[in-house]
């Protein structure tokens, strides 16, 4: 009997220890609260809020109920009411003429209705999870599985989505038709996360690949990308920050444009730090804005660190951000390492820093070392 109970428990918990289960529950609870709190903030303007507990609780209850369909709301409310009702009964006269009492357990039926709502929600979640897994596989196919061989550079990249699918984009590829070959380096971050951001990321990737086949200079390429992004940005609400650069292996020159992205860090062999900031607004905000390009000449031993804000703004349980200073300390300590080794060290340090705290944004980091 004990062995069967142990097997059952292992199957339910998937082998997780109690502290791991608690951390998982706490992370889920925090994420759910933030979801419902965001809806509460949207429903009730700050200046119109009443600061009594009952009103706040009712608004949060409405935020939860609005996530359900009307039919499921009725079932849930009926189930809660039946749980509140005391156990009832009624009397009647039996065939023998005696008075008999029949009891109704409202609690049982209330729990049954709530269980039905739970099963319906689980079914929706399973379908959505399957669709998200398919979307994740497609997204992995769109993004490069391994960095290409670029003369004069060693490259490593990694991404960590906040949800199943991400809105971050990265790629390194040779521009078609360029002789000698020049390589395009791109890291982008679509505003938002999950499915909407992932869909826009896919359109960004498709437009970048298509437009890069022309022989236009980098600033014209980015301007065309901005025009295309403005047609899908919902009046600037779905903008995209991006860092795009063109690398010429013949002279180690990097022509770049920073479109509102976190400034990549260029760590020189001598230890000096430069930030690549020249560019313009994020893509998808103003269709008539141009973009300025700049040139950075690389030398052997130089490091280029390109990342999205999800890396430096990752928070731990005390709401402290990971920060660029901590990232740069790791770069300074590991400047003589290979990019893949240093990248593993950075992602491991990030994981240690955030612990079980749920993150609000996707994390992407691309490391380039000039050899």
Which residue is it, tokens 């000698």? 180
Q: To the nearest whole number, what is the mean pLDDT of the chain?
A: 83
Whether 211 contacts 244, CB under 8 Å: no
Please state, for a pLDDT cut of 90, what percent of the chain lies above it.
35
Higher-pLDDT residue of 37 and 50 is 37
Q: How far apart are the C-alpha atoms of 184 and 244, rounded to whole Å?
A: 7
Mean local confidence (pLDDT), 233-241: 76
Structural domain boundaries, residue 120: 2-90+95-125
Asked if 184 and 154 sit in the same domain, the reply is yes
Asked if 220 and 346 sit in the same domain, the reply is yes
Asked if 81 and 152 sit in the same domain, the reply is no
Asked if 190 and 312 sit in the same domain, the reply is yes
Asked if 102 and 177 sit in the same domain, the reply is no
* Any domain includes 36: yes
pLDDT for the residue 185: 95
* Any domain includes 139: no
Asked if 13 and 120 sit in the same domain, the reply is yes
Provide the pLDDT confidence category of residue 42 given band limits of 50, 70 and 90: low
pLDDT tens digits for 285-297? Answer: 888 888 999 999 9
* Any domain includes 195: yes
Q: What is the pTM of this model?
A: 0.73
Lowest mean pLDDT among 117-121, 341-345, 346-350: 117-121
Higher-pLDDT residue of 236 and 139 is 139
Asked if 27 and 56 sit in the same domain, the reply is yes
Asked if 82 and 153 sit in the same domain, the reply is no
Cα radius of gyration (the chain): 28
* Any domain includes 207: yes
pLDDT for the residue 168: 86
Closest CA to 290 of 239, 221, 237: 221
Is the predicted pLDDT of residue 44 greater than 80, yes or no? Answer: no
Higher-pLDDT residue of 61 and 324 is 324
Asked if 319 and 274 sit in the same domain, the reply is yes
* Any domain includes 137: no
pLDDT for the residue 46: 61
Asked if 182 and 103 sit in the same domain, the reply is no
* Any domain includes 136: no
Around Cβ 41, how many Cβ atoms within 10 Å?
Answer: 13
pLDDT tens digits for 55-74? Answer: 667 777 777 787 888 888 88
pLDDT for the residue 15: 79
pLDDT for the residue 293: 94
Number of domains in the chain: 2
Q: Which residues are CB-contacts of 349 (< 8 A; sequence separation ≥ 6)? A: 326, 330
Give the range with max mean pLDDT: 58-67, 190-199, 312-321: 312-321
C-alpha separations of 304 from 42, 153, 324, 346 in Å: 40, 10, 14, 14
């Amino acid at each position: 009997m004990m062995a069967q109970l142990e097997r059952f428990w292992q199957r339910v918990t998937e082998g997780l220890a109690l502290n791991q289960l608690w951390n998982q529950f706490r992370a889920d609870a925090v994420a759910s609260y933030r979801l419902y709190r965001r809806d509460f903030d949207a429903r009730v303007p700050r200046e119109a809020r009443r600061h009594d507990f009952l009103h706040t609780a009712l608004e949060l209850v409405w935020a939860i109920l609005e996530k359900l369909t009307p039919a499921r709301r009725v079932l849930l409310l009926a189930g809660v009411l039946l749980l509140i009702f005391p156990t009832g009964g009624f009397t009647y006269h039996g065939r023998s003429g005696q008075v008999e009492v029949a009891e109704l357990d409202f609690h049982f039926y209330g729990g049954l209705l709530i269980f039905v709502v739970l099963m319906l929600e689980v079914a929706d979640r399973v379908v959505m999870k399957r669709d998200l897994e398919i979307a994740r596989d497609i997204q992995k196919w769109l993004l490069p599985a391994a960095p290409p061989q670029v003369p004069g550079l060693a490259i490593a990249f990694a991404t960590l989505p906040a949800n199943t699918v991400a809105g971050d984009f990265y790629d390194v590829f040779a521009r078609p038709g360029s002789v000698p070959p020049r390589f395009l380096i791109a890291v982008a971050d679509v505003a938002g996360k999950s499915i909407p951001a992932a869909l826009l990321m896919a359109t960004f990737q498709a437009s970048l690949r298509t437009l890069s086949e022309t022989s236009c200079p980098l600033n014209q390429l980015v301007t065309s990308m901005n025009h295309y992004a403005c047609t899908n940005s919902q009046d600037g609400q779905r903008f995209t920050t991006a860092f795009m650069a063109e690398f010429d292996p013949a002279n180690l020159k990097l022509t770049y444009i920073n479109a509102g992205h976190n400034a990549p860090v260029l760590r020189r062999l001598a230890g000096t730090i430069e930030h690549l900031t020249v560019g313009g607004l994020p893509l998808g905000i103003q269709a008539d804005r141009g973009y300025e390009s700049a040139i950075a000449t690389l030398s052997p031993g130089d490091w280029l660190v390109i990342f999205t804000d999800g890396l430096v703004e990752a928070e731990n349980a005390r709401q402290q951000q990971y920060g660029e200073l901590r990232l740069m300390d790791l770069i300074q300590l590991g400047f003589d390492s290979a990019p893949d080794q240093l990248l593993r060290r950075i992602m491991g340090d990030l994981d240690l820093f955030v612990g079980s705290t749920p993150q609000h944004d996707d994390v992407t980091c691309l490391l380039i070392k000039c050899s």
